[in-house]
Chains A and B, each alone.
Chain A
Amino acid sequence: MGSYIKDVACFFPSNVLYNDDLQRDFPDRNVAKMGNKIGIHKRYIVGNSETALDLAEGACNKLFEKHDKAKIDFIILCTQSPDYYLPTSACILQKKLGLSKSIGAFDINQGCSGFVYGLSIAKGLIEASIASNILLVMADTYSKHINKEDLGNRLIFGDAATAILVEKSNKQQIGNFVLGTDGNGYNNLIVPNGGMRCRFNPDSEVVIGDRNDKRSDNDLYMNGSEIFYFVGKEIPLVIDETLSKNNLIKDNIDFYLFHQANEYMINFLAKKLKIKSERYYNNIEDIGNTVSSTIPIALKRSLEKGLIKKGDRVMLCGFGVGYSWGAVIIEI
């Protein structure tokens, strides 16, 4: 028994934030230069009353334009911007989509490694004969975590959702996974307040960072240098380990889809791994870093552009908040 990714649908909110808009908000900063460095020139941002769950519903409805929703027997929803502490967004999504009551549904709290983690769970549920047609949903609205005066993070992150149909098949097209964790990096990408350890504090002090970005402990904090350092050191090893675990070598891989953190980081990673530019993909110029959705969006766009085709072996690798990482090789 095997499993495969049958289809992917992407959904973006309607509000667009261009770098020119940010330049107006930050007249003393060189936004164009920063945008060119990270390769991001626009991104989609949710409205005040719009949430990740709304985006998730939009992505799923797009998927169901081509696929029968009655077949779905499990929902896995990955988000770090849920509507509520409880219940899980996946349960509400089941209601909104009008799916059968006889299905399993839960959320996972992962960021940029979330798609690979979700795919590993989906594969496991199929192998264990618990489910056959899994709706794997990625939905994040990091914009709601970011202080309006934090230019660095407003430039990088965009909001989006993706819905992925993972189905049972005769042939196994999802390979062996490598998953990893290093909690030592937990405070390099964090929203400190709002959980049970430090409750949301409306009086939290606003601090000014090295680059004049402002935030309080109610907002997202990212130590970009430490994250980049972790990626540069750890991820080449993860790629090697994934190849080894699947009895493959680099030349056996037709295409690489990394978490689309930013263009500079992806290019650096490709350089370290000696991957030629035609064998990996940067696609965040018009959407930004959409956290858990970056890999499925890149997968969808690569297929549409003909960069990958049926039968290709594609390495998927996600990494980030936690620190957490995961990689797998799929066959298209």
Chain B
Amino acid sequence: MEVKNKIERIVVECLIILAEEEKIKSFEKPTSDTKIASQVDSMSLVALSVDIEEKYEEVFDKEIKVLNESEANFLLNFENVTSLVEYISKL
């Protein structure tokens, strides 16, 4: 649980950064239900992924790849905050 909480904090922090940079209102105060993939284009999704990977490495001292387009239905991982946290926790 502790790990998932930390991951959620990372995702939320990165969404808030993206909200500031790209004026995405729904990311200003993200909750576990906040939708992600439907709110951004592919470039923003890559930017978010790279930001999350960097913060994850800082916190957990481990490299991960969040955005993996070779996976079938990879966008489902980005459906909302909960699905993304769940996905990252399994990497």
Contact = CB atoms under 8 A, between A and B. Distances in A.
Interface of A: 37-38, 223-226, 228-229, 232-233, 264-265, 268, 272
Chain B residues touching A, range: 10 to 19
B43 interface: yes
Contacts of A229: 46, 49-50, 67
B50 A265 contact: no
B41 interface: yes
Interface SS majority for chain A? helix
B43 A265 contact: yes
A37 B49 contact: no
Interface in B44-91: 45-47, 49-50, 53-54, 67, 69
A232 B50 contact: yes
Interface SS majority for chain B? helix
B42 interface: yes
Contacts of B46: 225, 228-229, 232
B41 A37 contact: yes
9 contacts: A38-B43, A223-B69, A225-B67, A228-B46, A229-B49, A233-B50, A233-B53, A268-B50, A272-B54
Nearest to B43: A264
B42 A232 contact: no
A247 to B, nearest CB: 27
A38 B42 CA distance: 12
A268 B47 CA distance: 7
Contact of B43 (A223, A228, A233, A272): A228
Contacts of A265: 43
A37 B41 CA distance: 10
